[in-house]
């Protein structure tokens, strides 16, 4: 165990933890904006109450996403100074753009939304939640453009041992990013849809109110549509991985040798013939590279070394992502079918909805493990090894201290957030107010 | 181009210290200027709509450093590793405390988080920059204590400007009390900064040091003026003065960092290539005006003094 291992653990722990909150911020923000738009258009009181109810849950979660995100931006410099110095010229630009174009918008307009119920004209107030929601989604684009560059670097040259950007447009339209953005944003909407489903499932069991059936239906539509986007963009990603990240694909598929008509392995020993060749190229008989052969080719290219990522993590996280993702989307399609044309919501279905919260969240985390563990041993594919990226001046003891602090703090906050969300979900909607709610101070959203 | 980006980064950091400076001050003073839940809410609602947007100035400053001066960014935060960890811990517990306190049954832990989370970064940013410039533990303690007192004073004046009733009165008293600490500390911290009397006074910086002493002197002057203005109940002008003192302190710091952003590193060595800097300049030119306008608009929307709501 050295400083490098601990720094990797810290990055993994803090990043996975950060991403527990991000998908809800991305998807739920748009959902809340949609609810408020519905209130604006129909004037029906229950839409306002739903806006505030989900708005409160959104804010509890949003806070966690923001504060854990700050850590991310510092961590590159703190623990990965060699990496940062090497890539900053290219990688820093999307991060700076994220702050300027997305974070300012998100946080400023969210502040206006929380405190502006009685200060702003209704229409302007509605625009604020949309601006905040759009800001969140924009930030996802920029950070994914930066992340995609690590796996498929484009628009740069290496001068004096540092990457120099030569084409910003190429970085922002990296094919890897363009496939990854709809995949991650789609998955975020699946998670948010699953969250809303779980909440409405709980309330359907308690009240059978027609309103909750409507909420559940809306969440089912959101999950199903977003699920289709995830599947489509996932297919794009698989084909790109075939060209750009052969090692990741080979290890994820469990292929040792270059194989024509490569089968898909559901679990070791259970195979569906030719599926992997088809999924990665569109041709059932195409050759897909195997890990041993890629290793040999990489040794010729980059010199001796072990270029395989962790077989177990990559292989299984791929299957967890696929499996749990499919189950969630399947559940949403099933739900839509069973409740078609005003059919009532069966009780067992509402009970199943509670699963829609953990399943897609686990799928998303597995997806990130596949993506980033599968990138190893590189931080920038073909250019910089993870082992050469770590801060040389930061000692084992220092990383041990920070890893301990972050883990303990994050653990405590996770428990607090879970308790808080549960309490507010159980508390339900606030009673209709005698005074028009928009004109009254709203302490529950504010401090 | 390199100089332009150094100025932009100094601008972003200065903006951050001015804006988040009063957020920290309000967080520090909240337990002392308010009695009971309603006053506590009144106090914190002065920063409620804006603190998160203010914090983005830090995110932007750091992001811009990463993009424009990668070696400076990575060197700074890996050198001051543990202080930065503690700053992050502070920002985490403060942010969560602020957002959650209205949604829990007993806000004790949230309020503690806000207090600690305001104190840690307010002290540590000063300590980090003082240590970076003067390379001594004593300088770090003095620098940190100075920025802590400056934030508290800045926040107290902000509260006096933005509230009414008893909180306003107590905030004014707090501002006067804080100035008793802030003024002497300012003289010590800024004079050592301006004249480079710290343990590791850098060489070959003669001219810049002469120039560098101007903002430091001006910072002391505006701080003294701020105290006089608080005394005469000119809260708007007093706030302008504490904001100016914060900016001038930051300018004094960056005037010295201009020579060597880190020991043994020049700006030119740390900088990204001309293509990246040109692209960043265009992006900044297009987006920053919008940001300034809509953030300014937020302050306009919430310009009314915050009153007690039971």
- pLDDT band, very low/low/confident/very high, at A446 (cuts 50, 70, 90): low
Quick one: pLDDT at residue B103? 82
β-pair partners for A162: A159
DSSP-H helix ranges across A265-357: 275-281, 291-302, 311-338, 347-353
Residues of B in contact with A96 (CB under 8 A): 60, 63-64, 66-68, 280, 283
Distance from CA of B242 to the nearest CA of A (A): 24
CA A419 to CA A422: how far, in whole Å? 5
* CB atoms closer than 10 angstroms to residue A393: 12
* CB atoms closer than 10 angstroms to residue A427: 12
- pLDDT band, very low/low/confident/very high, at A432 (cuts 50, 70, 90): low
Half-sphere exposure of B194 (CA within 13 A, CB side): 18
Hey, are the CB atoms on B74 and A60 less than 8 Å from each other?
no
Hey, are the CB atoms on B272 and A445 less than 8 Å from each other?
no
Contact call for residues A377 and A387 (beta carbons, < 8 A): yes
Place of tokens 């696929």: A322
* CB atoms closer than 10 angstroms to residue B165: 13
Residues of B in contact with A406 (CB under 8 A): 85
Residues of A in contact with B91 (CB under 8 A): 67, 70
Contact call for residues A9 and A60 (beta carbons, < 8 A): no
Whether the pLDDT of residue A406 is over 90: the answer is yes
Residues of B in contact with A112 (CB under 8 A): 49, 298, 301
Q: Which residues lie below 8 Å from residue B253, measured CB to CB, with a gap of 6+?
A: B129, B133, B193
Residues of B in contact with A70 (CB under 8 A): 55, 58-59, 88, 91-92, 95
How far is residue A37 from each of residues A26, A47, A108, A213, A297, measured CA to CA in Å? 17, 9, 20, 19, 55
Provide ipTM, 2 decimals: 0.86
**What would the pLDDT profile of A207-216 be if each residue is shown by its tens digit?**
877 888 888 8
In B101-198, DSSP assigns E strands to none
| More confident: A279 or A193 | A193
**What would the pLDDT profile of A101-144 be if each residue is shown by its tens digit?**
999 999 999 989 998 888 888 899 999 999 999 999 999 999 99
Place of tokens 């006053």: B39
- pLDDT band, very low/low/confident/very high, at A228 (cuts 50, 70, 90): very high
Return left, alpha or beta for B36; rule: phi > 0 is left, psi -120 to 50 is alpha, else beta: left
Asked if B89 is an interface residue toward chain A (Cβ–Cβ < 8 A), one would say yes
Of A271-280, A380-389, B59-68, the poorest mean pLDDT is in A271-280
- What are φ and ψ of residue B106, in 5° steps? -125, 115
Of A190-204, A300-314, B207-221, the poorest mean pLDDT is in B207-221
Place of tokens 């409160």: A56
Tell me the average confidence (pLDDT) per consecutive run of 10 residues in chain B, 310 residues long. 91 94 93 86 88 90 93 93 94 92 84 93 93 85 90 92 89 88 81 55 45 75 85 87 90 85 85 91 91 88 80
Contact call for residues A12 and A365 (beta carbons, < 8 A): no
* Three-class secondary structure of residue A159 per DSSP: strand
Q: What is the DSSP string of B41-53?
A: HHHHHTTTTTHHH
Q: Which two tokens stand for residue A208?
A: 């059978």
Residues of B in contact with A65 (CB under 8 A): none
Among the listed residues A389, A382, A303, A302, the one whose alpha carbon sits nearest the alpha carbon of residue A86: A389
* Three-class secondary structure of residue A163 per DSSP: strand
B39 to chain A: closest CA residue: A447
Half-sphere exposure of A239 (CA within 13 A, CB side): 13
Whether the pLDDT of residue A436 is over 50: the answer is no
Hey, are the CB atoms on A105 and B294 less than 8 Å from each other?
yes
Q: How many residues does chain A have?
A: 447
A108 to chain B: closest CA residue: B53
Distance from CA of A38 to the nearest CA of B (A): 25
Half-sphere exposure of A45 (CA within 13 A, CB side): 9
Nearest CB neighbour to A77, from listed B41, B77, B93: B77
Report the residue of A73, A76, A99, A112 to disrupt the B interface, i.e. the one with the largest count of B CBs within 10 Å: A99
- The helix (H) or strand (E) run that includes residue A165 is strand A162-165
Distance from CA of B229 to the nearest CA of A (A): 30
Hey, are the CB atoms on B302 and A119 less than 8 Å from each other?
yes
Quick one: pLDDT at residue B222? 86
Report the residue of A58, A101, A104 to disrupt the B interface, i.e. the one with the largest count of B CBs within 10 Å: A104
Angle between helices B81-100 and A396-427 (to 10 degrees): 10
Tell me what the pLDDT averaged over chain A comes to: 89
Quick one: pLDDT at residue B182? 84
Distance from CA of B167 to the nearest CA of A (A): 17
Whether the pLDDT of residue A361 is over 80: the answer is yes
3-state secondary structure A265-289: EEECCEEECCHHHHHHHCCCCCEEC
Q: What is the dihedral of CA A260, A266, A269, A273, to 10 degrees?
A: -30
Distance from CA of B132 to the nearest CA of A (A): 16
Hey, are the CB atoms on A96 and B95 less than 8 Å from each other?
no
Among the listed residues A369, A410, A311, A306, the one whose alpha carbon sits nearest the alpha carbon of residue A8: A369
- Diameter of chain B by CA atoms? 61
Domains of chain B by range and CATH?
A: 2-273 (1.20.1630)
Distance from CA of A257 to the nearest CA of B (A): 41
β-pair partners for A384: A380
Contact call for residues A250 and A294 (beta carbons, < 8 A): yes
CA A262 to CA A257: how far, in whole Å? 10
Quick one: pLDDT at residue A227? 92
Half-sphere exposure of A444 (CA within 13 A, CB side): 18
| pLDDT-above-90 percentage for chain A | 56
């Amino acid at each position: 165990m050295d400083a490098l291992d601990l720094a990797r653990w810290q990055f993994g722990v803090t990043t996975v933890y950060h991403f527990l909150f991000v998908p809800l911020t991305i998807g739920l923000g748009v959902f809340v904006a949609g609810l408020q738009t519905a209130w604006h258009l129909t004037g029906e009181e229950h839409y306002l109450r739903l806006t505030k109810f989900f708005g409160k849950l959104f804010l509890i979660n949003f806070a966690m996403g923001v504060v854990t995100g700050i850590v991310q931006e510092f961590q590159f410099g703190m623990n990965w100074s060699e990496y940062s110095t090497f890539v900053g010229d290219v990688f820093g630009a999307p991060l700076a753009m994220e702050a300027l174009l997305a974070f300012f918008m998100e946080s400023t307009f969210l502040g206006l939304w929380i405190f502006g119920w009685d200060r702003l004209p209704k229409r302007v107030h509605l625009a604020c939640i949309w601006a905040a929601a759009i800001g969140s989604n924009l930030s996802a684009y920029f950070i994914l453009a930066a992340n995609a560059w690590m796996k498929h670097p484009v628009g740069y040259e290496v001068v004096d041992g540092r990457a120099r950007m030569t084409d910003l447009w190429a970085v922002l339209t990296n094919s890897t990013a363009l496939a990854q953005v709809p995949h991650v944003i789609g998955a975020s909407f699946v998670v948010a849809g699953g969250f809303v489903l779980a909440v409405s499932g709980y309330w359907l069991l308690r009240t059978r109110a027609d309103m909750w059936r409507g909420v559940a239906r809306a969440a089912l539509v959101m999950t199903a549509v977003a699920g289709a986007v995830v599947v489509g963009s996932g297919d794009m990603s698989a084909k790109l991985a075939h060209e750009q990240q052969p090692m990741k694909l080979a290890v994820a598929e469990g292929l040792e040798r270059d194989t024509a008509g490569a089968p898909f392995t559901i679990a070791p020993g259970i195979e569906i013939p030719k599926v992997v060749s088809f999924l990665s190229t569109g041709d059932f008989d195409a050759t897909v590279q195997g890990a041993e052969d890629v290793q040999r080719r990489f040794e010729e290219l980059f010199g001796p070394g072990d270029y395989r990522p962790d077989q177990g993590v990559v292989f299984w996280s791929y299957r967890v992502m696929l499996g749990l993702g499919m189950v969630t989307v399947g559940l949403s399609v099933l739900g839509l079918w069973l409740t078609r044309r005003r059919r009532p919501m069966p009780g067992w279905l509402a009970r199943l909805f509670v699963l829609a919260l953990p399943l897609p969240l686990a799928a998303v985390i597995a997806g990130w493990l596949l993506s980033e563990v599968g990138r190893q041993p590189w931080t920038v594919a073909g250019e910089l090894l993870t082992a050469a990226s770590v801060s040389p001046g930061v000692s084992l003891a220092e990383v041990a201290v920070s890893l301990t602090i972050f883990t303990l703090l994050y653990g405590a906050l996770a428990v607090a957030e879970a308790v808080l969300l549960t309490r507010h979900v159980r508390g339900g909607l606030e009673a209709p107010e005698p005074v028009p709610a928009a004109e009254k101070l709203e302490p529950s959203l504010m401090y | 181009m390199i100089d332009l980006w150094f100025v932009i980064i100094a601008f972003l950091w200065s903006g951050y210290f001015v804006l988040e400076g009063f957020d920290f001050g309000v967080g520090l003073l909240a337990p002392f200027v308010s009695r009971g839940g309603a006053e506590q809410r009144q106090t914190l609602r002065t920063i409620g709509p804006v603190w998160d947007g203010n914090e983005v100035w830090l995110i932007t400053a750091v992001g811009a450093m990463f993009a424009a001066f990668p070696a400076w960014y990575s060197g700074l935060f890996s050198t001051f590793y543990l202080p930065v960890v503690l700053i992050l811990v502070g920002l985490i517990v403060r942010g969560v405390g602020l957002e959650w306190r209205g949604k829990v049954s007993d806000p004790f832990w949230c309020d503690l988080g806000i207090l600690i989370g305001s104190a840690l970064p307010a002290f540590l940013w000063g300590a980090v920059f003082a240590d970076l410039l003067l390379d001594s533990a004593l300088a770090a303690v003095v620098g940190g204590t100075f920025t802590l007192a400056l934030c508290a004073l800045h926040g107290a004046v902000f509260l006096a400007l933005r509230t009414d009733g008893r909180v306003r009165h107590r905030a004014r008293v707090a501002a006067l009390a804080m100035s008793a600490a802030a003024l002497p500390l300012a003289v010590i911290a800024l004079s050592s900064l301006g004249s480079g009397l710290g343990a590791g006074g850098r060489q070959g910086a003669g001219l810049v040091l002469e120039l560098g002493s101007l903002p430091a002197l001006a910072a002391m002057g505006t701080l003294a003026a701020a105290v006089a203005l608080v005394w005469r109940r000119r809260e708007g002008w007093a706030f302008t003065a504490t904001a100016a003192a914060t900016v001038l302190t930051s300018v004094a710091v960056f005037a010295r960092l201009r020579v060597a952003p880190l020991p043994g590193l020049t700006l030119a060595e740390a900088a990204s290539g001309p293509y990246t800097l040109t692209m960043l300049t265009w992006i900044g030119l297009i987006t920053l005006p919008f940001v300034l306008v809509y953030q300014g608009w937020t302050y306009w929307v919430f310009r009314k003094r915050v009153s007690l709501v039971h």
